[in-house]
Structures are given as C-alpha cells and as structure tokens.
Amino acid sequence: MRFRLALVGFGRVAQSLTKTLIEKRAQLKRQFHFDYEVVAVSDTIKGAVSDPRGLRLQKLLSLAQKNGSIKDYGKGTSGLSAIETIARTEANVLVETTWTNLENGEPGLSHIRKALNKGVHVVTTNKGPIALAYHELASLARRKGCQLRFEGTVLSGTPAISLAKEALAGSTVRSIRGILNGTTNFVLDEMAAGRTYTQALKTAQELGYAEADPITDMEGWDSAAKITILANAVMGGRIRLADVRRQGITRITSEDMSDAQAKRRRIKLVAKAYREKDRIRTQVMPERLEESDLLSHVSGVLNAMILSTDVQPEVAIVGPGAGGDSAGYALLSDLLALNRILNGEES
Ligand SMILES: NC(=O)c1ccc[n+]([C@@H]2O[C@H](COP(=O)([O-])OP(=O)(O)OC[C@H]3O[C@@H](n4cnc5c(N)ncnc54)[C@H](OP(=O)(O)O)[C@@H]3O)[C@@H](O)[C@H]2O)c1
C-alpha cells in the first residue's frame, strides 16, 4: 500500500515527523518498502492545504517555520477544516496531533471517529481520545478493518505500547509501574537538590519543560491519562480516567524531601496499574522509593516503565517521555508498524 497521509495538527510533533519523512524517504523505501505522500495538512491557525498528487513537504516546513502559516503554499485546495480534510481527501492514514484535551478528548476524538468510520487508519500522539475512549475507538477500528496506533501517547518515542503489546505478545501483564511524566520528575529532582516547589517549577518553565499552566502535569492528570491508556490497552482493563486514584506533587514540601533523604529514600510520582482479584486498579501517587528501586534512579525529564508479566518478572524501559522529535519518532514507528501489518508481515 502506498501511504497517503493527512496530517491534522501541524505543530511541533507533526513538523518533526515531516522532517524525518523527508530525510529518511530513500532509506524507508529501501529498507521497509515504505512509500508515502502527504496529501493533506490541516491546522487551525497555520492553515490547510491538500493535493491528491502529494504536497511538497520541504515547502510546507519552510512556510510553517518562517511565517507560522502554510496559507501561501499556492497549489492544491486550501482552507479545509480538519473534519473536511478527513471527509473529502483521499488520505488512507490520518496522523492526528492536535492538542490533548483530557476533559472530552476534542477535537481529536471527533477526528479519529470520522477517520475510522471512513475506513481510514489512524496514528496519533494525542492522549485525550485514547485515555477517554480507547475501547470505543478500538472496537470501531476493528469493525472498519482499520488500525489505530498510539505509541506516542505514553513515553513518547520510547516504545511502551509496542513493547507491551507486540514485543511481549503472548505474556500476561500483571502490573505496570512507571514514571510517566518528565516535568514532575524534574521538579522533584530539583526539590531533592534543595529548591522549593515554586523555585523548581519556575526553572522547569524557564527550560520549557513545564507549561505556563502546569496543573495537568503537577496534579498528576497527565500521568493518570497515561496509566489509563496502559491499563486499558495493555492489561485489558475498563478503566475511566476518573477512576484513577490520583495525587500530584503540589503538596510536597521541602521538609518531606529532607525527611525522605534522611531515610535514604527518593520521592517520585509513581503511576501504577495492578490486578486485584478480578479488577484492575490504577493510581498516581508520590511515593518514597528505596534506593534499590529502579524507578528511584530515573532522573530529570526521563520516563520509565516497568512491566511485570507472568513469564518475566520485570521488564523495564527508560527513555525520553516528551519532546517534539521523540513524539514525531513515535508516529514514524507506528507508520512502519502499519506498513508491516498491511503488507501481511504480521497481523
Ligand atoms: N510535544 C511533545 O513532547 C509531545 C509528546 C507526546 C505527545 N504529545 C501530544 O502530541 C500532540 C501534538 O503535540 P505538539 O507538541 O505538536 O503540539 P502543538 O505544537 O501545540 O501542535 C498542535 C497543533 O494542533 C493544531 N490544532 C488544534 N486544534 C486543531 C483543530 N481542530 N484542527 C486542526 N488543527 C488543530 C494546533 O493549531 P494552532 O496552534 O494553530 O491552533 C497546533 O498547531 C498533543 O496532543 C500532545 O499532547 C506531544
């Protein structure tokens, strides 16, 4: 299959994917027989353009980077909304990278539903729709014979979903523990080095790790969304985001830090999913970890996930959990997996 991609959302992640697709075109074709065109791009402020013959990617990137807009692209059809782009163009894969909304999943949820209903495969880094509606979307994808892939929603480009679902296929995941949010991990490290919560958060914001509105990260919502995705997609749970027992790091004081250090412990925001009788429980809580715990050594903005399975007691992965390039790579890895599946190399 020749991939005809529609990029909905053309921010950091989609632009990074575009750059990689340009740079690696020859290699991807040679190594994986992966052949593609981007037939549409649609972004609220930057504009929208589509052309069934394929868009000139370098031109799109230059326009977006120089003008913050692709409206001067010139050729093809311009001005289609995201929904119109999905409905009217000949794309066979939607690359959905609009903003994450953990309240109702929009606008990404409608984009993904629209694409799957039309028989269009979906790859996304957008946590909202997957955290809030995984089972609905996965069953819609199955009914329509489509693939829905979302590697970048957890641990960004560090393979978490495919590690659990594909590399460890055939094993049963009994529990998952992880540091799933780099911003809170960075702030806790700074606090362990003697800074107050406010100072640490300010540094994280100056370095571009924390959003101007840091609540989603600091109150544990981002980690809760990710553990919900893992519990549902990897462990077969039926967890709602609201079910996650959740406490963030805003109430941790410098005294808590010194007390933990005196006991040779490190405070980390740990996300967990585990089986209790026939139910799956999820939580995000600050924990005082012993030095022997691998998670206690995950520092700065790194993320980590430890899977406990019936055949292997512990499998761990550590790596970047954010960044446009990392998430852009997650999309590429999903596209290559899709390429393998559609070419019959695996089902
Ligand atoms: N960056 C990371 O480190 C990272 C890592 C993992 C996952 N993610 C997730 O990946 C997604 C993309 O992240 P990003 O960093 O690329 O964000 P970003 O730079 O803010 O890009 C998102 C883009 O989506 C556009 N958009 C929003 N609503 C839209 C709509 N209705 N139709 C069309 N376009 C729309 C925005 O347009 P305007 O700005 O023009 O309104 C923006 O250009 C997010 O869901 C994020 O949570 C990001």
pLDDT in tens, 298-323: 999 999 999 999 999 999 999 999 99
Question: 76 with 49: CB under 8 angstroms?
Answer: yes
Structure token digits, residue 170: 């055939």
- Cβ of 208 closer than 6 Å to ligand 1, yes or no, is no
Cβ–ligand 1 contact at 13 (below 6 Å):
yes
More confident residue, 278 or 339: 339
Rounded CA-CA distance 277/255 in Å is: 37
According to DSSP, residue 72 is labeled T
Contact 131, 102 (CB under 8 A): yes
Cβ atoms of 306 and 271 within 8 Å: the answer is: no
* Ligand 1 pocket, mutate which of 97, 103, 158, 181 (most atoms under 8 A from CB): 97
Query: Strand 173-179 vs strand 302-309: parallel, antiparallel, or unpaired?
Result: antiparallel
pLDDT of 160-202, one tens digit each?
999 999 999 999 999 999 999 999 999 999 999 999 999 999 9
Q: What's the 132 CA to ligand 1 centre distance in angstroms?
A: 17
| pTM of structure | 0.97
What sign for the dihedral angle of Cα 328, 218, 231, 293? positive
The contacts of residue 87 (CB under 8 Å, 6+ apart) are 114, 118
Q: CA 343, 344, 346, 347: dihedral to nearest 10 degrees?
A: 110
Q: How far is the CA of 126 from the centre of ligand 1 (A)?
A: 8
Question: Given the CA of residue 16, which atom of ligand 1 is nearest to it?
Answer: 16
Contact call for residues 321 and 300 (beta carbons, < 8 A): no
Has residue 282 got a pLDDT over 90? yes
**pLDDT value at residue 64:** 97
Q: Is the CB of 107 under 6 A from ligand 1?
A: yes
Q: List the one residue out of 60, 229, 25 whose CA is nearest residue 132.
A: 229
* Strand order across the beta sheet in which 93-96 lies: 77-78, 47-50, 36-43, 3-8, 93-96, 121-124, 148-149
| In the block, residue with structure tokens 């989609």 | 14
- Res 347 pLDDT > 80: no
CA of 102 to the centre of ligand 1 (A): 14
**Which pLDDT value is given to residue 6?**
98
Q: Is 176 in the pocket of ligand 1 (CB under 6 A)?
A: no
According to the model, what pLDDT value does residue 346 have?
Answer: 52
Over residues 7-49, the pLDDT tens digits come to 999 999 999 999 999 999 999 999 999 999 999 999 999 999 9
| Residue pLDDT, tens place only, 229-247 | 999 999 999 999 999 999 9
- Phi (first) and psi of residue 73, to 5 degrees: -60, -35
Place of tokens 């933990």: 260
| Any atom of ligand 1 within 6 Å of the Cβ of 207 | no
d(CA 100, ligand 1 centre) in Å: 7
* Average pLDDT rounded to a whole number, residues 75-83: 95
The torsion defined by the Cα of 251, 257, 258 and 264, in degrees rounded to 10, comes to 140
Distance CA 92, CA 78 (A): 19
* pLDDT band at residue 343 using 50, 70 and 90 as cut-offs: confident
Query: What confidence score (pLDDT) does residue 344 get?
Result: 78
Residue 48 CA: nearest ligand 1 atom is 33
User: Which residue type is seen at 90?
Assistant: E
Instruction: Indicate which atom in ligand 1 lies nearest the CA of residue 126.
Output: 45
Ligand 1 site, residue 222, Cβ cutoff 6 A:
no
